[in-house]
Amino acid sequence: MKAKVILHRKRKKRVEQGHPWVFQSEIDEVIGDFTPGDIVDVYNHNHVFLARGFINPNSQMMVRVLTHQEDEQIDSSFFVQRIKQAWAHRQRFIPNVTSCRAIYGEADFLPGFVVDKYEDVLVVQIMALGMEVQKESLLEGLLEVFQPKAIYLRNDVYVRELEGLEQEKGFWYGESPTEIEIVENGVRYIVDIENGQKTGFFFDQRQNRAAIQPLITEDAEVLDCFTHTGSFMLNACKYGAKHVTAVDISEHAIETAKKNAALNDFSNVDFVVANAFDYLRDCVQEEKKWDVVIVDPPAFAKSKHAVKKALRGYKDINLNGLKLVREGGYFVTASCSYHVHPHMFMDMLTDAAFDAKKILRQIHWDGAGYDHPKLLGADEGDYLKFAIFEVTTRK
C-alpha cells in the first residue's frame, strides 16, 4: 500500500491549480510507512485524491507531483510515455529540431529531470531523489525515444546535496567527444557538455535570438554585452551586421565565442574581455554609439533577499546601455532572475530610461522558447524576461 500524504485544511489550493510541488508546511500528516523516494498519494483534508508523486522528507519540496490521475500507475512505461510526449511537443513546435531542451523537468511532468539534446548526444541532470530512484526507467525511455549515441550526466549541481544526493558527472551511456557541434537558427556552435555552464548551452533564448533579425541592417553596428559564447553576436552576424563588438568578463567564454565566429566564417567581430559594467560606463564617457545594443546578463538575484541589489545592477547596465544607442536605434535587454518579476524589470527599465533621458517604444516582449514550456500554476517557471525597444532622445 502507498503511503498517504494528507494536506492541511487551511492552505492555498496550489496542487489543484497544477503546482508540481507539495511543501512540508502544507502537510498535515503522512499515513503509512515509506522510504525516501517512494511513490505516494496526496489527498486534501477530506481525503479526496489530488495527486501522485514521489516523497523526500529531507527536502522542503516534500512531494513532487508526477500525475493528477488516480488511475495512472507510476512504472517504467509511465516514464517512457512521458518522454515520448515531451519529444513530440518539441517536434511539433520546433519542426526539424535536432538540438534543444528535450525535457524540462516539472513543465514536462517529470519533476527534477532535465535533458538537453545536442544532435545525437543527450546531457542529463537529475535533481530530485525520486528521479534518482527511477534512473533505470528513465534511461530505458531515453534510449527508446532518442536512440542516442551517448548520454552524459551533469549532476554537478548543489541542489542534489539538498536532496541527499552526491554530485557527479560523466558518461551514463555510450561515449562521444565532449565538445559537440550543433546548429540553431542556422548558426553553428561548439558546445562543451563537460565544462560549459549548466549543461553547456542556453537553449531558452532560441526564439529571442531570432527576434533580433529585423533590427539588423547591412550597415548596423552592434554591441553585445555578456556575450558568453557569442549567441546573440553570431545571430547579428548571420543577419548581416556590418560589425559586432562582443564583451564578456570570462576569457574562456570569449575564446569559445571566437571559435564559434570562426566556425561560421564571421570575421567582422571585435572581442573584448572586460567587466561589462565598467565597459559600458567607459563607452558612455567616450561617447561611443551603436545601432543595436544588447545586454543579456547572468542572473543577478539568486534569492528574494538579493532582489534590491540585483535591481541596482540591472539599472546600471540598462541605463548605460541605453545611452550608447544611436538615435532611433534599438536596445535589447533580458533578465533570467526568477526573483526579479516582470513588473519589477519593467519598472527598472522605466527608471533607467528616465535617467538616460530616453523614450522607449516596445517592439517585442517574450520569455523562454517552445522547448521551455511553463505551467500556469507554477510561477517558478516564469523566469526569463526579454524585450526589444526602439530608443529616441527626450529633451
- Active-site positions read 336
Residue 289 · residue 320 · CB < 8 Å: no
CB atoms closer than 10 angstroms to residue 250: 15
Phi, psi of 332, deg, nearest 5: -115, 125
Distance CA 195, CA 172 (A): 16
CB atoms closer than 10 angstroms to residue 338: 18
b/e code 144-170 from CB counts within 10 Å (16+ = b): ebbebebbbbbbebeebebbebeeebe
Biggest CA-to-CA distance, the chain? 73
Tell me the three cell numbers of residue 181: 557541434
Residue 317 · residue 295 · CB < 8 Å: yes
Which residue reads 548605460 in cell numbers?
Answer: 320
Residue 39 · residue 2 · CB < 8 Å: yes
- Which of 61, 72, 167, 158 minimizes the C-alpha distance to 111? 61
Tell me the three cell numbers of residue 264: 561560421
Phi, psi of 234, deg, nearest 5: -65, -40
Nearby residues of 164 by Cβ (< 8 Å), 6 or more positions away: 36, 56, 58, 59, 129
Residue 113 · residue 138 · CB < 8 Å: yes
Spatial strand order in the sheet of 61-67: 21-23, 61-67, 49-55, 39-43, 4-7, 27-31
Nearby residues of 312 by Cβ (< 8 Å), 6 or more positions away: none
Secondary structure (3-state) at 3: coil
Distance CA 265, CA 286 (A): 31
CB atoms closer than 10 angstroms to residue 302: 12
- Which of 125, 126, 145, 133 minimizes the C-alpha distance to 83? 145
